[in-house]
Every structure is written in C-alpha cells, then in structure tokens.
Amino acid sequence: MLDAIAAKGAQDKRNVAFLMRHGVHVRLMPKRPVYMHPKVEISNHYAFVVSENYSVSSLEENREMGMILNNPTDISMLQAQFARDWKAAGAA
C-alpha cells in the first residue's frame, strides 16, 4: 500500500512514519468506495466518535463535534465495523 502513502501529502507520510516507529499498527483505507472522516476511540465500555482531527486548527478554530456512547449494542457494532475496515485496509 505504499502507493496510498505516496498519494498523500508529505506531512501525512511523516505522521504515518512517526506512528510506525513508535509501534503503532497503521493501515490505510482507499478513498473509494467510501471516504471516511470520523475518528473513533473504542473500549469495552465506551466509544468516543468525533469529527475533529487532532490538530490545533481542528480543536481550537473549527466547529467540530463528538459524542460518547456507552450502549453495549452500539459499542459492539462499532467494534465489528472497525474489525471489517481493518481487515479491508492495506498495510502502510
């Protein structure tokens, strides 16, 4: 999936390399057939689903939103979708 990394901007490539150097498993989804912008952090008891990026402009200048879910059914659905997406994504 090196082509996907090459297609991204220089900062994206540096960010992916930084994460991988620090032991984070990175996979990249193609923009097609579905472009996804949300981020999610999932545990066994909570899920935090957000639109914002973890950047100064997104967190301090933009109008973004997020929500915390604690319904076990919702969390299970998010975990299952993440597993499907992870399997479909290419290794960085």
Residue 73 to residues 4, 43, 78, 86: CA-CA distances in angstroms?
33, 13, 9, 20
pLDDT in tens, 25-50: 888 877 777 776 778 899 999 999 98
Task: Measure the CA–CA gap between 20 and 26, rounded to whole angstroms.
Answer: 7
Task: Measure the CA–CA gap between 35 and 33, rounded to whole angstroms.
Answer: 7
Q: What band does 8 get if pLDDT is binned at 50, 70 and 90? A: low
pTM, two decimal places: 0.70
Residue 78 to residues 30, 41, 70, 75, 91: CA-CA distances in angstroms?
19, 10, 11, 5, 21
User: For the domain with range 2-91, which CATH number is right: 3.40.50.620, 3.40.1640.10, 3.80.30.20, 3.30.870.10?
Assistant: 3.30.870.10
